[in-house]
Amino acid sequence: MKGKRLERILAIISLTLVITAGVLGIRREAQEVNNYLNGIIPEGHIAEALEGERFALYEVDSLSPDFYLINESAPAYGGDMIVSVLLDTAGVIRDLKVVKHRETPSFLEKTEKKAWKKSLVGKSYDDPFVIGEDVDVVSGATYTSQAIIRCAQVGSGRIARDQLNLEVSAPEAPGLEIGIPEIALLVLYVLALIGIYKQTRFKTTIRWITMLGSLFILGFWFSLPLTLSKLNTFLLGYFPDWHTQLYWYLMIGGFLLSILVTRKNIYCTWICPLGGLQECLGAVGGAKPRFSRRFNKSMKWVQRGVALLAILLALYFRNPVKLNYEIFGVALSLTGATYLFVLTGLFIMASVFIKRPWCTYLCPIVPVEDLLRLLGKNKQA
C-alpha cells in the first residue's frame, strides 16, 4: 500500500511538472523573435514588409518588386510547419525553405537528400498540386512532404491573388481520407478484442496474426507506430485535421480507451509493430525474462524518469522530439540519427535472448500507461 501511495504522489508531482513546463514553454515561445528571411532572399535584393508574413523584394534602387515572399504554415507530423515560398511576378515558385518545424530531423532530411523540394520549383500558382498525380510525397516522410506541398500551393495562391491581382481558384476543402492504415488498424483492434474476450483455442494464433499484420503493415510498410513524440504533439495543443489524419485519432483513442475502459493495454501487447518484431526475434532465440524482479523494478523508475524528461523538454521547448530516444524509426524504416542506429542494434540483438527488452526497459509508452492506471486507480490487468 505504501508503494502505491508513493507512486500516486509521484504521479501528481509529475503532472504538476508537466503543466508547469507547458506554461513556461508557451511564455518562452511568445518571446521568441524569428527571422524567416535568412538564406532565401536573392542576392542584391532588399525586403519590404507587407501585411501578415509577406514581403516584396526589390533590387537596390528599383521601384518595382522582382519577387514576393510569403511565410506559409501547414500541419505536418509534429505540428505546424512554416515554409518560406519565393515567387516571381508571374506567380511562379522560385524557391522554398522550411524555416520552422517540429519534425524529427531525420525525416525532414529525407526531403532534402532526395532533392524532392526542387520538383516544386517552377510550378505556377494555378498549376495542379494533386498528390500522387501532379506531385509525389517522399516515402517514409509522408506528412512532412504533404505539409511542404500544402505551403507551396496555398502560399503561391495567396501572393497571386492579393499581390499580383490574378484570379485564383479557391482550394478544395479536404475530404475524409480513409486508406490502408486506418482500415488495417481497425481490423487489428477487432482481431485483438476477439482474441482477448472470446474463449477460443485459437487465441495464440490470432495474437500472432495481429502482431505480424501490424509489423508488416503499420511497421515496415507505413511506419506508423504509436510514439511518445506523437503524444507530445497533442500535449502541445496540436490537433491535426481529422479529415486527413484520422489514423492518429483512431490510434491514440484506441490506446487510451483500451486502458481506461477495458483495463488492458491492447495496443502494446497485441498490436505494436515493434513489439511484434521483438517477439519474432525472441521466438528464434528462445527469449525470456533474464533479470531479477528487483532489477526490473529499479529499471522501471529509470524508464519513467527518461519518459518524463522527454515530455518536459518537449513542452518547454515546444518541440515534440527535443529528446528523441525512440527506436521505432530505425527499427521499422531505417530512418534516424546515428546514435539511434546504435541503440536500435543493441535492443534488436537483446530481443533474441530477452523477452521484449525495449518494452520492459525503455519504451516511453509504458510509463504513460502506468500513469493512466494510477490516476484511474486501476490495477494492472
Q: Where are the chain's structural domains?
A: 2-27+177-375, 43-162
Where helices occur in the chain by DSSP H, the ranges are 2-30, 105-113, 142-162, 180-197, 203-214, 228-235, 246-260, 266, 273-285, 293-317, 328-333, 338-351, 357-361, 365-375
The predicted-structure confidence for 101-155, as pLDDT tens digits, reads as follows 888 887 777 777 656 677 788 899 888 887 767 777 776 677 888 888 889 999 9
Read off the C-alpha cell for 117.
523540394
The answer to whether residue 171 scores a pLDDT higher than 50 is yes
Which CATH fold would you assign to the domain 43-162?
A: Sufe protein. Chain: A (3.90.1010)
The answer to whether residue 367 scores a pLDDT higher than 80 is yes
Helix (H, G, I), strand (E, B) or coil at 284: helix
Beta bridge partners of 74: 81
Residue 157 or 171, more confident: 157
Q: Which of 1-15, 186-200, 367-381 is least confident?
A: 367-381
The predicted pLDDT at position 349 comes to: 96
Q: How far is CA 124 from CA 86, 94, 199, 244, in A?
A: 11, 9, 61, 25
The answer to whether residue 170 scores a pLDDT higher than 80 is no
The answer to whether residue 381 scores a pLDDT higher than 60 is no
Burial readout 124-137 (b: 16 or more C-beta within 10 A, e: otherwise): ebebebeeeeebeb
